[in-house]
Amino acid sequence: MTTATLPPALTASPLRSPAHRWRVGAEFQVRRANEGDAPALAALSRPFVHAGALRERPLSLYVSRASEFLVAQAPDGTLEGGLGLSEHAADGVLYNFCVAAHRQGSGLGGRLLQAAFSRARGRALTMLFTATTGSGRLFLGHGFVPSRSDLAPAAWARTLDPGRNARVLARTL
């Protein structure tokens, strides 16, 4: 999983100006995804894949793992963010974290992370891991610290692409 801000060419929009930024309010619903959300999750991820911030995943993965995802849904039904949480014994892995370019900086990512923490605690997970090729600023600001891949769930750590130079981060719950 990677978090990154999209390059300026992918984020150019009048909504990105400070005067048009707003905090995510209660009108956004953070909920568990369902199979019907899979195409929207894939579409939401696509700009991040093209920018190299996320690994490409087939639509079938979003369908088969829909229940692992939390999504942020706007009042009009549009998905504006998504985050996967896979379980590995007592540990969890956050992956495919993305927030629509025009919502970055609005607090939506933080809301998704908080929902993931709550869900992980409800599943009695004790540690969360993630990997990022970006700054990791959002994760670090929410209690993650640099970690080693050999401390993470082995099945997940084996999937990390060494060519991406991703940093592994961890957080105790």
Strand, helix or coil for residue 137 = helix
Query: Global pTM?
Result: 0.84
Q: What class does CATH assign to 23-172?
A: alpha beta
Q: Provide the residue count of the chain.
A: 173
Check residue 25 and give its pLDDT. 58
DSSP 65-122: TGGGEEEEE-TTS-EEEEEEEEEETTEEEEEEEEE-GGGTTTTHHHHHHHHHHHHHHH
Q: pLDDT grade, residue 26 (50/70/90)?
A: low
Statement: residue 11 has pLDDT above 70: no
**Rounded Cα–Cα distance for residues 162 and 39 (Å):** 28
Query: In b/e form, how buried is each residue of 39-78, taking b as 16+ CB within 10 angstroms?
Result: ebbbebbebbbebebbbebeeebbbebbebbbbbbbeeee
Determine which helix (DSSP H) or strand (DSSP E) holds 4, and give its type and residue range: none
**Residue 54 gets which letter from DSSP?**
S
Check whether 120 has a pLDDT greater than 60.
yes
- pLDDT for 138-155, tens place per residue? 999 999 999 999 999 999
| Percent of the chain at pLDDT exceeding 70 | 85
Report how far residue 48's alpha carbon sits from residue 14's, in angstroms, rounded to the nearest whole number. 20
Q: Is residue 1 scored above 90 in pLDDT? A: no
Q: Mean pLDDT for the chain?
A: 87
Q: What is the pLDDT of residue 2?
A: 44
